[in-house]
């Protein structure tokens, strides 16, 4: 199956291109010049916005149909200034001590990701540890409970359940 970000699987099991709004086959998508993949870094995202505008003109579609979702300045600022309640040393992995390929793991993902960043409920990890522990249910439950306790001790004037909409204890 193609992993083009413009490909949409309909309920009747047919494929549709989100850019053109037409039903297509997998082979047509595979050979499409507009085929794009999800991109994480902002430099490539800016490049694709320019590419999107050009493609919109070429195929007579609106730029709204082609526009990529952009991060807000507020979210970028939060992500740049991340820290952790669990460790002061963010220059190494909390679990293996590696100083290479570091990333952040938000304890509460999804709709609570911003709250995790805002209230410093993040763990500094190397990519290897992050891949290994990202989907580990026991690991995640342990840190969610520990995160709730840390939140309660560091922010006594706030109610955890009101902020994160769930009790993990």
Q: What is the pLDDT of residues 117-133, one digit of tens each?
A: 999 999 999 888 888 88
Q: Is the pTM of this model over 0.75?
A: no
Cβ contacts of residue 105 below 8 Å, gap of 6+?
122, 123, 124, 125, 130, 133, 134
Distance CA(61)–CA(47), nearest Å, equals 19
Average of per-residue pLDDT values in the chain: 79
The sign one gets for the Cα dihedral 109, 115, 118, 121 is negative
CA dist 103 and 123 (Å) reads 9
E-assigned strand segments in 49-161? 102-106, 122-126
pLDDT digits (tens, 9 = 90+) for 47-85: 455 556 555 555 555 555 555 456 677 777 778 888 888
Sequence-ordered strand ranges (E) for 54-165: 102-106, 122-126
Instruction: State the pLDDT confidence band at 6, using cuts at 50, 70 and 90.
Output: confident
Q: Which of 5-14, 15-24, 101-110 has the highest mean pLDDT?
A: 101-110
């Amino acid at each position: 199956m193609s992993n083009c970000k413009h490909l949409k699987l309909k309920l009747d099991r047919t494929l549709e291109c989100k850019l053109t709004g037409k039903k297509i086959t997998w082979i047509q998508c595979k050979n499409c010049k507009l085929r794009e993949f999800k991109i994480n870094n902002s430099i490539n995202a800016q490049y694709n916005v320019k590419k999107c505008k050009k493609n919109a003109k070429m195929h007579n579609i609106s730029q709204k149909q082609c526009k990529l979702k952009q991060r807000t300045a507020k979210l970028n600022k939060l992500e740049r200034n991340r820290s952790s309640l669990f460790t002061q040393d963010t220059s190494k992995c909390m679990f293996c001590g590696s100083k290479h390929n570091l990333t952040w793991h938000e304890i509460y993902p999804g709709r609570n990701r911003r709250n995790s960043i805002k209230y410093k409920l993040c763990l500094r990890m190397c990519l290897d540890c992050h891949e290994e522990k990202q989907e580990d249910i026991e690991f995640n439950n342990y840190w969610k409970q520990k995160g709730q306790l840390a939140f309660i001790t560091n922010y006594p004037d706030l109610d955890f359940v009101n902020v994160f909409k769930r009790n993990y204890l």
